[in-house]
Chains A and B, each alone.
Chain A
């Protein structure tokens, strides 16, 4: 039973990271119908930024939790700036162009950002310190779930709640939904759609950066390529849940996390990465709109 529970919570942790990254894919797709292939790189840049900040602050001898929070905040700001700029230079000029052009631009930006970090930093794996101490109150449960995982779960839950409030109740959130349903009508009621799109990139990048910092500190190392594999998996999660649907991205993340966790636990860890792609193929064949996706979304 403990083994099962361990796998369940492990899958939940993993899934919540996928969900954090998938949110960015799904929000951007919801509003401009573009798969932002460079999204994984934004997450990777978040992790690198955090590592640099952590190295500096550790030298200054700060408390580890404080370091993690500060590094997280700076990573969020930095990644958001990248996301914002990415949209302005690589996607906005192509808004009226055929969709394939923007997609190619996205792939190009993904490769560019990978190589940029490769050249500016290194091609080696860099150790990423685990800054979450083992909480004493967690000791009795340590064989089921670690302190780092608890921190990930709680942080994800907080981010999701804040995001839900933002999208459901604030003016900018309502404007995001309005623009994703009918851009021309959104313009006609006076919504500055360009600003809403920028805002969407900023929010999506911020959640990706939070995911990046959490996972890097959990796994313990990063390199320029981590955005690619995490990006693909989060993309699968987004498609699985129904691309464009925010609850769908979260659900898709969890389903993928659990599948990977149980499959590794009960079958074999050799096939861990296979499941994401297996899922992608199956979902595209049998339910292309995803679990919670709406097939009616794309009207005029």
Chain B
């Protein structure tokens, strides 16, 4: 479904991604783990067309999207919940969700999707007229995921969804990620520093160090790998 081939990305003269090759099939949950500054967020921004690669190729369902405009990429069905969630702080919860559905035209279906999400997250329904910036971290997380789902993505990119959240909310988030994957058949690419969590929900994963993919294997094998244990699992 998604294929990155020898992708190289630069910020000015600094190379952030070196020869990155990643492949994700339809219906999978795949994780990308690595420490802070490894290049995980840059990988997602490259896929979304925010930081286009200098060389290499990105294919989505066989179509090259390497140098496509971000809005075209969204319209093909790729959506990202970025690091830090980036809720529009002065837009209401409803307006944030509207923005998630920005490229859709099917009004009645949009309304139904919104009702569905409000059922899933009753707290959001209660706060629908409140500004996004006034929500708690956990509520913002639910809103960020809902906003992405409003676009009905085929591929959902999640950047460190566990970051800065209470354990209970992290647990809930990962339950929802699993639910989205099984119920909506949405393919998920999950970026995490918390390797333990990520490898439990994903079937397989990639390890990134200094802008390079250094290892890829099934989650089971990665969890058992001595190097991964030392570097990312804390024992």
Residues of A within 8 A of B (CB): 171, 174-175, 177-178, 181-182, 184-192, 294
A-B CB contacts (within 8 Å), total count: 62
B103 interfacial contact with A, CB 8 Å: yes
Most buried by A among B70, B80, B95: B70
B98 interfacial by beta-carbon distance below 8 Å:
yes
10 new A-B contacts, CB < 8 A, other than A174-B99, A178-B99, are: A171-B102, A174-B91, A177-B91, A178-B95, A181-B89, A187-B49, A189-B151, A191-B71, A191-B102, A294-B90
Nearest B residue to A180 via CB reads B90
B50: CB under 8 A from chain A? yes
Q: Which residue of A lies closest to B76 (CB)?
A: A190
- The reply to whether A192 and B71 form a contact with Cβ atoms under 8 Å apart is yes
Contact A181 B91 (CB under 8 A): yes
B55-82 vs A, CB cutoff 8 Å, 1 = contact: the mask equals 0000000000000011100110001101
| Complex A-B: 26 CB contacts under 8 Å | A171-B98, A174-B99, A175-B99, A177-B95, A178-B91, A178-B95, A182-B86, A182-B88, A184-B50, A184-B86, A185-B88, A186-B99, A187-B49, A187-B50, A187-B71, A188-B48, A188-B70, A188-B79, A189-B99, A189-B147, A190-B74, A190-B102, A191-B71, A191-B99, A192-B69, A192-B71
CA distance A215 to B144 in the complex (A): 47
Interface size on B, residues (CB 8 A): 24
Give bound CA distance, A190 to B147, whole Å.
12
Q: How far is the CA of A174 from the CA of B92 in the complex (A)?
A: 10
Which B residues are in CB contact (< 8 Å) with A184? 50, 82, 86
Which of A181, A187, A189, A294 has the largest number of chain B CB atoms within 10 A? A189
Contact B88 A177 (CB under 8 A): yes
0 or 1 for each of B151-186: is its CB under 8 Å from A? (1 = yes): 100000000000000000000000000000000000
CB of A188 within 8 A of CB of B80, answer: yes
CA distance A171 to B99 in the complex (A): 8
Give, as a whole number of angstroms, the nearest-CB distance from B47 to chain A.
Answer: 11
Chain A minimum-CB-distance residue to B98:
A174
Considering the complex, give the chain A residue whose CB is closest to the CB of B80.
A188
* Residues of chain B in range 132-161 having any CB-CB distance to chain A below 8 Å: 147, 151
B100: interface (CB < 8 Å): yes
* CB-based contact B98/A188 at 8 Å: no
How far, in whole Å, are A189 and B80 apart by their CA atoms in the complex?
A: 8
Q: Which of A174, A182, A190 contacts B70 (CB 8 A)?
A: A190
A175 and B102 form a contact (CB under 8 A):
yes
Bound-state CA distance A190–B73 (Å) is 8
Report B-chain residues with C-beta under 8 Å of the C-beta of A191: 71, 99, 102
Pick the most buried of B48, B69, B102: most chain A CB atoms within 10 A of its CB. Answer: B102
Known contacts A175-B102, A184-B50; A190 and B71 CB within 8 A of each other? yes
